[in-house]
Structure 1
Amino acid sequence: MVEALSRKGPCDCCQIWPPNTLLRLDHNTSAMAFPVPSHLPRRPNPQDVSSEILMKIDQATNQTLTASLATSWLAELEDTIRATETHIHDRIHLDLPQFEQQLESSKSVQTRLQSLVSNVDELNQTLSDPGTGLIPILVRSLTTHATLAQESADATVRHETLSHLLRCRAEFGSVLSLVQMGKLPQAVEACGKFDQLLQNAPAHLHQTNVMLDIKRKFQAAKSRAEEQLSEAYSRSVTVSPKCLTILSSVAVRQSETVLSLSEVLSSLSATSLSSHLTTLRRDTMAHYVDHVLRQPTSLTISCENAENRLTLFPSPPNSEDLTTRLDNVSATLKFMSTHFTAFLPPSESLAFSRSLCKPIVTSVLSNLLVPSLPSSFDLLPQFIGLSKQAVAFEEECVIQLLGDDKSDRLIKAWVDGMGGHYERQRRLQILDTSRVIILSPESADDRFLVEIDIRQGQDKAPEVVPVQEEDPDASWGLNGSSSSSEAVDDGWGFEDDTEPESESASAATSSIPAEDVVAEDSWGFDDEEEDGTAPVVEPQEPPDANGLDKPDDDAWGWNDEAPADPAEETAWDDPWDEPPAKSSAVVESRPPPAPSIGLSKASISSPASTSSPKMATRLEKLANKGKKHLNGNSPMSSPALSTPMSSAKPSPAPPSPPPPAPANPSEKRPPRLTPAVVPKETYLVSGRMRQIINIVEDVLAEGQKFAASKILPPIETSSSPGTVLLQSAASILDLYRALYPVKFAGRLKTAPEAPMLFSNDCLYLSGEIARMEAAAASQGSLAPVRDRLVECRTRLKIVGDSWFEDTVEQHRQSANDIISQGAEGFTFTADQDRYDECETAISRVVQEIKRLAQQWKGILNKNKYYTAVGMVTEAALSRVLEDILALPDIPEVESHRLSELCRMLHALEALFIEDQDPFVVAYVPSWLKFSYLSELLEASMVDISYLFDSGALVDFEVDELVRLVRALFADTALRTNTINKLTAGRQ
C-alpha cells in the first residue's frame, strides 16, 4: 500500500521537504521508491528542531508510526516554541531602555511623515491650479510677449531685404551698362564691387529666388566681360611657329572702345591671366627658344603703328654659326620684355620673367651645348667659344634681363666642368661603338692569324740558341752511348755505369740550358739546308700597324731559311696543311712540352728528363716477337719511336736533345753546335679583336692628348683631366668580357671550337694590352689607367686560360663518361653483345677525339693544340687503364678481346705525328703504359717477367702488375713465384 503525504518543496538551506509535497513510500520498505546513487552527495544532518522532526517523520514507516511517536514529536515542537519565546523576552529585557527609545523614535518618524505629505499636497495646489496657479499665469504672459517680438522681427527683416535688393538692382544696372559699352576695365571694377555687395547680403536672402536670379544674371554679365577681355588678349598677343605678334592696343568687339595692352592685362582675372601666361610661356619656349636652339634660323623684328612682330625664317645649316642661335634667343627675350612683360601688372611681371629662367637655361644646355659637345678633341676649341658665348648669354639675359638669382648660374657651372662632360660623353660614344662591335654576329671569314714565340713568357730568352748538330752517320742513345749490340743490352739505363766518354758528352750537352734548346726538327722547321750547313738567321719583318705579324708570312715559322719558292709561299695559308720537311740530319722529333696551365686533373710529364729511362729497342723486339702487327707496324713501335715517359714529376723546361754518339764508340770529339732560330707558332683570333684593339689605342691616344692640352680651364676635382677617357679604354675590355659570353652563350655551349676561339681572343687582348703598357711605360702618360689596364690584362688572361681549361675538362669528362657508360668496366667481353657495346664506346671516343682535333687544329697554336688533344686522350686512356686493371678475372678470350679494344685507341697516335716522327708521349703521359697494357693482355708469364726485369714496366705500380697477373693466369706455382718476384723487384 502506498501512502501519499502532502508536503512543500525542500528548503534551500536544509534540504527538508515541507508539507504539501507528495511522496510515494513503498509499503514494504522505509526508503524512497527509487534508490539514491552512491556518487551523489548525501543530505547533511538538519540543524534546527523542525528539520529534525521532519526527518524523523520522513523516516517513519507504517510499522514504526504510532500515536506515542507523534505525541513526542508535538511535545518536542512545543518545547522548542516556548524556548524561543523565552529567549526573545530575555533579549528585550536585557537592554530595555534602548528598546523603548527606539520604539519612540519610530513613532515620531511616522508622525512627521504624515505632516510632510499634507504640506506637499498644499504646495502642489498653489502652483498647478489652472485658474490661480503661478505656472499657468506665467505661461500665458510669455506667449503674448513672443508673439509681439516675432511681428517686430518680421518687419525689420522685410525692410532690410527690400533696401538691399534696391542697391543690388542699381549696381547691377551699372555693371550691365559698362559691359555693353565695352568699358571692360570699369566693368571689371564694378563687378568686384557688386560681388562684394552680394557677399554682404543678409543671410535670409541667399537662397531666395530673387537673389538667385540676380546672381545668375550677374554671372552672365561677368562671364561676358571676361570673355571679351580674353578675346582682346588673344588678338593682342598672337603666337605661331613662325611669327610672334604683340599689339599695343586693341578694339573691343561690338563696341567703339579701344583698350591698351596694359589695361587688358590688368583687367584679366588672376585665373585667366595665369592661364594665358602659362600658354604664352609654353608656346614661346617651344617655338622661339627650343626650336631656335635646335634648328638654324634667322630672326627679324618689325614695329609698325601699334603692331610689333617677330618673325622666324629657316637658315641653311652648312654655314651657320652656333652663336647665332644664342643671339636669336636673346633678341626674342628682349622683344618680349619690351613689348609684353613691361605691361604686365607688377605682381605678375617679375614672376613671369623668373618662370622663364629655368626653362631657358635648361633648353640652352639640353638643346645647344650638350648636343654640340664635340666628339673629337680637334673640335674642342670651336666649342669653347660657343660655351663662352653661352655664359655671356646667361649673365645678360637670364640674370640681368629676367632677374634670376645670381647664385644659381647653371650654364657657367656646366661650362666650368666642360672637360668632365666631354670625357663622359666620349665614354658613352666609345662604349656604344664597342658594344655594337662586340654584339655583331660572328663571321668565320673575319679571322686572322697571330704569330707568337713558343717560349713567350720566359725571361731573357735568346732569339738564337745553339743546338748540337748530329752526325748523320752516327746513331745515339739517350745516355749518349753507342747503338751497338753491347749498348742495347742496357737500353733502359737500369744500373747504368756510364763511361767517361759518355760523361764528357753529357757534360757538354748539359752546359746548354734545357729551356734554351730547341730540337732541330721538332716541329718540322728546316733549319738546315740539305748539305748540312748551318742556317742563316734572317731578320724578322716588322709587324703591321696592329702590332701583328703579317699573315702571309710563314705562320708557324717553318722554312725560315729556305729560298722563296712561289709554290711554297701559300703552303701555310692553312696552318695545319704543311708538307713534310726533309733534312739530311734527322734527329728524334721532340715538340715543346705541354705548358703548365693549371689543370688539376692532368699531369703532363716532360718527354725527356735527367731521370728518364733509356730506349729499349732490343727488349721491345723480344717482347714483340710473335705478336701481330697493327697497320703494318709493331704494336710497340710507338714507344720505340718516342722518348718513354718517366715516373718522376714533370719538368716545365723544354727537353734537351740527346748528344750525338760518334760512329766509332772509341772516338771522342765534342759535339758540333749549330745556331737555331727560335720557332714561331700561330693561333686564330676573331677579326673583331683588331677593331677592339684599335678603339682602345685610339682612346688611349685621345686621353693622353686631352690630358696634355691646356685649352680647358683647370677645375678642382679629385681626378686629373683625361682620366675618364683613359679609364674608358679599360671599360671597353670589361664590356667585352661581360657581354660576349652572354650574347653568344648558345654558340659557346654547342660549338666545340667557339670556347677555344674565345680563349684565344682573350689571350690576344691580354697580350696586346701588355704591349701597350710596355710602349707607354717610358712616357708615364698612362699612370691614371695603368692599374686598370693591368687588372684588365690579368682578368683577360684568367678568362682565356679558364675557358681553355674548362673546355678541355668538359671534353675529358665527356670521354670518361662515354667509356664508363658504354663499356661498363669492360666486364664479360666474352659475350659478343657486351663486346660490341665496348667496341662501340671505344670507337665513339676515338671519333670524338679526332673530331675535336680537327676542330681545334686551325684555332689553337701547336703547343696548346697538342696539350688539349693530349689531355682528352689521356682521360680516355686513364679510364680504360683503370677499368681493365680493376678486373678481378680475365679469361683468355676476354684478354684477346680487351687487347683488340686497346689497339683501337692506338689510332690516336696519328694525331701526334709530324714529319713521320711521333711525339705522343710528350702530351699523353699514360701512352707507354697503355701500349704495354695491350701487349701484356696477350703476353705469357715469361714475357711479363722478362719485361719487368728489363725495366720496361716502370710505369706500372707493383700492385697493378700483381692484380693483372692474378687476373690473367690461373693459380699455379709459377704465378705465385712471378707475383713474389714482382713484389720483391721494386723494394
Structure 2
Amino acid sequence: MSTNDQLKQAIVDSVEHGTYPEADVSSAEVPSTLLPALLADLQKARDEVKEDIRSLSKDIAPDVDGWIAQAKKLQGDIERSKATARDIVAQAEAGKALKEETHDAGNKVHLLEKEVAFNESLASTLDLIRSSCRILDQADEAYANNDLRATLDHIKRCDASIAALSAVQDTRAVGLLQTRSSRFKATLLDKTTALAQALIQCDIETRSLLVKHEVPDMPTVDLELLVETLSYLGGLDVYIRRLKRDVDFALIDHRLSMKPGQYSVFNITDASIIVSQANARPGTIATLDDIWACLEFLSIHLPSSICEPLSQKLLPSLFETLTYTWLDRSVPVQIEQMPVFQQILDRVSKLADQIDTLNWPSTALLKDWVQNAPRTWLSKRREMALGAARSLLFSGLKTRKTVERVETQTVSKGDAIMGGSDVDEADDAWAADWEEETPETAKVDASKAATSTKNDDDDDDASAWDVDGDDTDKTAVSSEQPAKDENMEEDDAADAWGWGDDEQVADEAPKLSSPKKTKKAASTEQVTQSGDRELTLRETYTVTAVPDGILDIVLQVVSDAETLTDPSYLGSPIGPAASALYTLPTFILAIYRATASTAYGKLDSGNMLIYNDASRLADQIRSFVVRQTEKDLTSSLPSHLRPSSRLRLDNDIKALETFAKRAYSAEMESQRTIVRDMLDGAQGFSNCNAEPFASACDSAVSITEGRLRDVHKQWAPILSRSALLQSSGSLLSTAISKMIMEIEEIQDIGEEESAKLRKLCDKISEVKDLFIQEHPEGGEASNMTGIYCPNWFKFQYLGELLESSLADIKYLWTEGELRLEFDVDEVTDLIEALFADSDYRRKAIADIRRS
C-alpha cells in the first residue's frame, strides 16, 4: 500500500473510532512527487469530514466539539506532514546535484589516469625503440669488426626488444625499426653463408671437397657458430640443400658413374676429398669402401648440426644411385661368381652397420637390398634367360640345318610294311585311314571303313612321324602331323601362350597317317623271337637354330637350379631362389610361343618352319625330362628336391605340340583357300566346252595345277618326305574334291562336254608325278598318290565314268571296285547327267540299285 493510501486510511480510522493517534507523518519518507497528490487527498478528506460532521451534528451535537478539536489536531498534523514533505523534496533535489558533481569529478580523475598511463607507455615505448636502435647500432659495429658472436648476440637482443613492441607494431617508427632489422639480418645471412662456403668448399669444376677450421682474419669464427647463426636466421635448410647438391655433383655422381672412360676414385686427405680419374672401372667393393670413406670424412670434419640434416637429404639419393648403378649390376648371372657376390653382400651389410654407428638414418634401403638378393638374382636370371630366348628367336632363324628323326617300331608279319600277302588290302586301309578335313571325305562307305580298321593296332604301332602314339610312352620320339584346326578364330595371343590347351586338345582335327610303303626305303629290320620285326625308321627334315638354342637355355636354367639345390650351396645368398628357377623353363617356352608367329611370319613357309621347330623342341624337352628322371633315380637328394619332381613341363610339351599343329593347320587352311579360290574361276565347270567358259576352265585348272607344284617345291626343302607328301596330298585332295563336287552337280553333260571334263581331270592328275616313290634298292618306282590323296581313286574313276558306256559303268559297279568310291546315288546321278532318258538307262539304274 502506498504512503498516500496509508494516510487516507489513518484519517478514516480516526473519524470512525473517534481517536486521533499521533501519526508520525513528519518522520515518513514521502517522495516529493507524491506530495501534491497527498495534499489534495487530505483536503478532500477534510471536506468529507466536515460534511460528515455537519450531517452528524444534528444527531450527535454533544460530540461535535470533540470532533472539531480532533479535526483541528488533524489539520495541524497535515500541515506538519506538508512541511516534512517539502523538506524531503528539497533534500532529494540537493542529493541529485551532489551526485552529478561526483560523477563529473570521477570522469576527470579517470581521464587524468589514462593520460598518465599513456605518457608512461609512450615513454616506455620510446625507451624500447631507442634501446633497439642502440642494439642495432651495436650489431652494426660488431658486424663491421667481424665479431660474428657479438653480432649474433646483439641481433637476438634486438629481436627480443622488437618483440616487446608488439602492441605498437603498426606504428611507423616500429615499422622502420623492423625494416632496418630485416635488412641487417639479410646482410648477416649472406655473409654467414659465404663464410660457411669458405669453410666447406665444394667445387664442382675441380671435383673436390675441402673443409677448413677457421676463416682468415676471423679467428673466432668456426662452423658451430656459423651453423648457429644460419639456424637462427632461417638459412640453414637452404644451405644444407645447396651443400647436398654440390656434394652430389662434385663427388657422388662422378664416383658412381658407369659411363665408359669416366671411371674415378676418391683420394681423401686430412681435410679434403678429391675425385681422381681411374684407368679402369673400380670394383664394387672398392666403390663401397670409397662411399664409407666419404661419409666418415663428413662425420668427422663436419659438426653434427650439419651432418644430421645433410645425411637426411644425401643418403636416400646416394643409396638409390648406388643400388641401381652398381649393386644391381654387380649381381652375377653365373653361379660360379657367387663367392664374389657374397663378399659384396657382406660389404653392403657392413656399410649399413657403419652408417648406423653414426646415428644417421636411411640405411633401410641397403638392408632391404641385401635381404632381397635372391629375388634380385632371380629377376636378373629370368631377364637374361627370356632376353636370350627373344634374341635367339630372331637371330636363329637365319641358320637352318637338316636333322634326322629316328624311331623304332615293332610290326607284325601280316603288316603291309613287312611285305605281307595282302598288300592291296593294306593299301586300301592306309587310304581309308586318311581323314581329310573336307566335307566330301566324310562320305565314306561302311565297307571301306571296315576295311580301313583292319590291323589298326599294328598300323598304329608301325606309324612313323605323324601318327599319335601312346602318350605315356616317353621313350618314343615322335612328331604329330596336324590337320586343319576347326577353331581358327581363337585369339592369336592366347594360342601363342598356350592358354586353354588342355581344353582344346580334344578338339584337334584327326591326325594324318604316314604311309607304310614309304617306310621301307628308310628302315632297317631286326627280327624278334616272336617273329615280329623291329623297324628303325629314319627321316630328315629342316629346322632352324631356334629349338637347339631354346633347349640349351632350358638346360642351363635347370643345371643352375640343380647346383643351387646341392648341400654345398645351402649358405649361398641365392640359395632360396633355387625352387623358383624351375619355373623359368615354362616362361622361356611361353616366350617362344608368344613371339614365334611374329618372327617366323617374315619367312616363306614360316608356319611350316614353326611346325618343324616346335615339334622338335617338344621332342627334345620330352627326352630331357625322361633323361632327368632316370638321372634322379640315383640322386642323393630328397625326392621333393630333385629336378624331375620340381619340373612341370608336361603341359608345356603339350602346348608346344598344339602350337605346332596350329601353325601347320593355319598354313594348310591358307593353301586350301587359295586352291579353292583358283578353281572358283572355272564357274562350276558348266558349259566347259563353250567360250568363254572353256578358257576360264582351262585357266583355272592350269593355275591350280601350277599352284600345287609350286607349294610342293616350296615345302620340299623344309618338311620331311612323309610330311611333304601328306601336305601335298591334302592340297590335291582339296582340289579334286571341289572338282568332283562341282562335276556331280552338273545336271546335263553332253558328249563334247564330257570329253572336256575328262581332259580337265587328266590335267589335274598330272601332279601324280610329285608322289612317285623311288625304291631304295633300285626297284620299280611306286606311285603313292592314292595313299596320300584319299579321294584319288574316286577322281580317277570319275574321269573314266565321263567317257564310259552304260555297260562299262554297270560292269565297274557290279564286277569292279566302283562301289568302293561312289555310293548308289552318286553313280545314278552321273548316269542321268551323261545319258539321255531311255529304257536301257532305266534298266541299268535299276540293276545298279538292286546290286
**Does 1:896 pair with 2:790?**
no
Provide the rounded CA distance (Å) in 2 between the counterparts of 1:651 and 1:261.
Answer: 89
| Post-superposition offset of 1:245 | 1.2
Provide the rounded CA distance (Å) in 2 between the counterparts of 1:754 and 1:310.
Answer: 62
Provide the rounded CA distance (Å) in 2 between the counterparts of 1:387 and 1:908.
Answer: 71
Provide the rounded CA distance (Å) in 1 between the counterparts of 2:321 and 2:455.
Answer: 79
Provide the rounded CA distance (Å) in 1 between the counterparts of 2:417 and 2:591.
Answer: 46
Residue type at the aligned position of 2:402: L
Residue type at the aligned position of 2:650: V
Q: Which of the residues 325, 332, 335 maps onto 2:294? A: 332
**Does 1:379 pair with 2:318?**
no
Normalized against structure 2, the TM-score is what?
0.69
| Post-superposition offset of 1:141 | 9.0
State the partner residue of 2:777: none
Residue type at the aligned position of 1:448: K
| Post-superposition offset of 1:164 | 3.9
Provide the rounded CA distance (Å) in 2 between the counterparts of 1:235 and 1:181.
Answer: 18
State the partner residue of 1:773: 625
State the partner residue of 2:187: 224
Q: In structure 2, do the counterparts of structure 1 residues 784 and 226 end up closer, same or farther at CA, with 3 Å as the change threshold?
A: farther
Please state whether the residue corresponding to 1:678 is helix, strand or coil: strand
State the partner residue of 1:786: 647
| Post-superposition offset of 1:905 | 0.9
* Matched length: 657
Residues 820-853 of structure 1, C-alpha deviation per residue, up to 9 Å, x if partnerless?
Answer: x312222222422112112211112111111111
State the partner residue of 1:180: 144
Residue type at the aligned position of 1:380: M
Q: Tell me if the contact between 1:424 and 1:724 (Cα under 8 Å) persists in the aligned partners.
A: no
Provide the rounded CA distance (Å) in 2 between the counterparts of 1:477 and 1:743.
Answer: 45
State the partner residue of 1:450: 403
**Does 1:882 pair with 2:741?**
yes
Provide the rounded CA distance (Å) in 2 between the counterparts of 1:146 and 1:875.
Answer: 128
Residues 86-109 of structure 1, C-alpha deviation per residue, up to 9 Å, x if partnerless?
Answer: xxxxxxxxxxxxxxxxxxxxxxxx
Provide the rounded CA distance (Å) in 1 between the counterparts of 2:562 and 2:511.
Answer: 47
Q: In structure 2, do the counterparts of structure 1 residues 823 and 300 end up closer, same or farther at CA, with 3 Å as the change threshold?
A: closer
Q: Which of the residues 118, 133, 138 maps onto 1:169? A: 133
Q: Which of the residues 346, 349, 352 maps onto 1:394? A: 352
| Post-superposition offset of 1:933 | 0.9
State the partner residue of 2:383: 428
| Post-superposition offset of 1:145 | 8.1
Residues 63-122 of structure 1, C-alpha deviation per residue, up to 9 Å, x if partnerless?
Answer: xxxxxxxxxxxxxxxxxxxxxxxxxxxxxxxxxxxxxxxxxxxxxxxxxxxxxxxxxxxx
| Post-superposition offset of 1:760 | 1.0
Q: Tell me if the contact between 1:416 and 1:713 (Cα under 8 Å) persists in the aligned partners.
A: no
Q: In structure 2, do the counterparts of structure 1 residues 365 and 711 end up closer, same or farther at CA, with 3 Å as the change threshold?
A: farther
Q: Which of the residues 244, 248, 273 maps onto 2:209? A: 244
**Does 1:708 pair with 2:554?**
no
Provide the rounded CA distance (Å) in 1 between the counterparts of 2:845 and 2:832.
Answer: 8
Q: Tell me if the contact between 1:297 and 1:314 (Cα under 8 Å) persists in the aligned partners.
A: yes
**Does 1:760 pair with 2:625?**
no
Q: In structure 2, do the counterparts of structure 1 residues 147 and 402 end up closer, same or farther at CA, with 3 Å as the change threshold?
A: closer
Q: Tell me if the contact between 1:514 and 1:656 (Cα under 8 Å) persists in the aligned partners.
A: no
Residues 131-151 of structure 1, C-alpha deviation per residue, up to 9 Å, x if partnerless?
Answer: xxx9xx99x999x98997898
Provide the rounded CA distance (Å) in 2 between the counterparts of 1:831 and 1:367.
Answer: 81
Please identify, of 293-302 and 373-382, the stretch whose mean Cα deviation from structure 2 is larger. Answer: 293-302
Q: In structure 2, do the counterparts of structure 1 residues 179 and 596 end up closer, same or farther at CA, with 3 Å as the change threshold?
A: closer
| Post-superposition offset of 1:291 | 4.4
**Does 1:200 pair with 2:194?**
no
| Post-superposition offset of 1:883 | 1.0
Following superposition of structure 1 onto structure 2, how do residues 589-668 of structure 1 map, counting pairs within 5 Å?
597-599=482-484, 655=516
Provide the rounded CA distance (Å) in 1 between the counterparts of 2:411 and 2:142.
Answer: 108
State the partner residue of 2:468: none
Q: Tell me if the contact between 1:813 and 1:875 (Cα under 8 Å) persists in the aligned partners.
A: no
Please state whether the residue corresponding to 1:779 is helix, strand or coil: helix
| Post-superposition offset of 1:919 | 1.0
Residues 519-565 of structure 1, C-alpha deviation per residue, up to 9 Å, x if partnerless?
Answer: 9xxxxxxxxxxxxxxxxxxxxxxxxxxx9x9xxxxxxxxxxxxxxxx
Q: In structure 2, do the counterparts of structure 1 residues 833 and 654 end up closer, same or farther at CA, with 3 Å as the change threshold?
A: closer
| Post-superposition offset of 1:740 | 2.3
Q: Tell me if the contact between 1:466 and 1:674 (Cα under 8 Å) persists in the aligned partners.
A: no
Provide the rounded CA distance (Å) in 1 between the counterparts of 2:837 and 2:810.
Answer: 16
Q: In structure 2, do the counterparts of structure 1 residues 695 and 280 end up closer, same or farther at CA, with 3 Å as the change threshold?
A: same
| Post-superposition offset of 1:200 | 3.2
Residues 545-595 of structure 1, C-alpha deviation per residue, up to 9 Å, x if partnerless?
Answer: xx9x9xxxxxxxxxxxxxxxxxxxxxxxxxxxxxxxxxxxxxxxxxx9x97
**Does 1:957 pair with 2:823?**
yes
Q: Unaligned stretches of 5+ in structure 2?
A: 1-96, 427-446, 448-453, 465-474, 487-509, 519-530, 633-641, 775-780
Residues 164-188 of structure 1, C-alpha deviation per residue, up to 9 Å, x if partnerless?
Answer: 4323322222222122111122212
Please state whether the residue corresponding to 2:404 is helix, strand or coil: strand
Provide the rounded CA distance (Å) in 2 between the counterparts of 1:790 and 1:515.
Answer: 23
Instruction: Say which structure is richer in helix.
Output: 2
State the partner residue of 1:978: 844
State the partner residue of 2:546: 688
| Post-superposition offset of 1:284 | 3.5
Following superposition of structure 1 onto structure 2, how do residues 801-880 of structure 1 map, counting pairs within 5 Å?
801-819=661-679, 821-880=680-739
Provide the rounded CA distance (Å) in 2 between the counterparts of 1:873 and 1:722.
Answer: 53
**Does 1:926 pair with 2:791?**
yes
**Does 1:742 pair with 2:598?**
yes
Q: Tell me if the contact between 2:485 and 2:665 (Cα under 8 Å) persists in the aligned partners.
A: no
Q: Unaligned stretches of 5+ in structure 1?
A: 1-133, 481-495, 497-508, 520-546, 550-591, 602-648, 658-672
Please state whether the residue corresponding to 1:777 is helix, strand or coil: helix
| Post-superposition offset of 1:302 | 3.6
Please identify, of 828-837 and 322-331, the stretch whose mean Cα deviation from structure 2 is larger. Answer: 322-331
Provide the rounded CA distance (Å) in 2 between the counterparts of 1:650 and 1:739.
Answer: 26
Q: Tell me if the contact between 2:563 and 2:569 (Cα under 8 Å) persists in the aligned partners.
A: no
State the partner residue of 2:495: none
Q: In structure 2, do the counterparts of structure 1 residues 145 and 965 end up closer, same or farther at CA, with 3 Å as the change threshold?
A: farther
| Post-superposition offset of 1:154 | 7.7
State the partner residue of 1:19: none
Q: In structure 2, do the counterparts of structure 1 residues 887 and 430 end up closer, same or farther at CA, with 3 Å as the change threshold?
A: same
State the partner residue of 2:21: none
Please state whether the residue corresponding to 1:684 is helix, strand or coil: strand
State the partner residue of 1:65: none
Q: In structure 2, do the counterparts of structure 1 residues 245 and 906 end up closer, same or farther at CA, with 3 Å as the change threshold?
A: same
Residue type at the aligned position of 2:659: V
State the partner residue of 1:660: none
Residue type at the aligned position of 1:231: A
Q: Tell me if the contact between 1:909 and 1:920 (Cα under 8 Å) persists in the aligned partners.
A: yes
| Post-superposition offset of 1:925 | 1.2
Q: Tell me if the contact between 2:715 and 2:724 (Cα under 8 Å) persists in the aligned partners.
A: yes
Following superposition of structure 1 onto structure 2, how do residues 119-138 of structure 1 map, counting pairs within 5 Å?
none
| Post-superposition offset of 1:931 | 0.8
Q: Tell me if the contact between 2:824 and 2:849 (Cα under 8 Å) persists in the aligned partners.
A: yes
Please state whether the residue corresponding to 1:710 is helix, strand or coil: helix
Residue type at the aligned position of 2:688: T
**Does 1:415 pair with 2:370?**
yes
Q: Tell me if the contact between 1:825 and 1:883 (Cα under 8 Å) persists in the aligned partners.
A: yes
Residue type at the aligned position of 1:246: V
Give me the CA root mean square deviation. Answer: 4.2
Provide the rounded CA distance (Å) in 1 between the counterparts of 2:315 and 2:359.
Answer: 7
Please state whether the residue corresponding to 1:259 is helix, strand or coil: coil
| Post-superposition offset of 1:218 | 2.4
Residues 459-498 of structure 1, C-alpha deviation per residue, up to 9 Å, x if partnerless?
Answer: x679xx997679xxxx998489xxxxxxxxxxxxxxx9xx
Q: In structure 2, do the counterparts of structure 1 residues 709 and 286 end up closer, same or farther at CA, with 3 Å as the change threshold?
A: farther
Q: Tell me if the contact between 1:161 and 1:202 (Cα under 8 Å) persists in the aligned partners.
A: no
Please identify, of 366-375 and 880-889, the stretch whose mean Cα deviation from structure 2 is larger. Answer: 366-375
| Post-superposition offset of 1:709 | 5.5
The percentage of aligned residue pairs carrying the same residue is: 21
Please state whether the residue corresponding to 1:679 is helix, strand or coil: strand
Please state whether the residue corresponding to 2:402 is helix, strand or coil: strand
Normalized against structure 1, the TM-score is what?
0.60
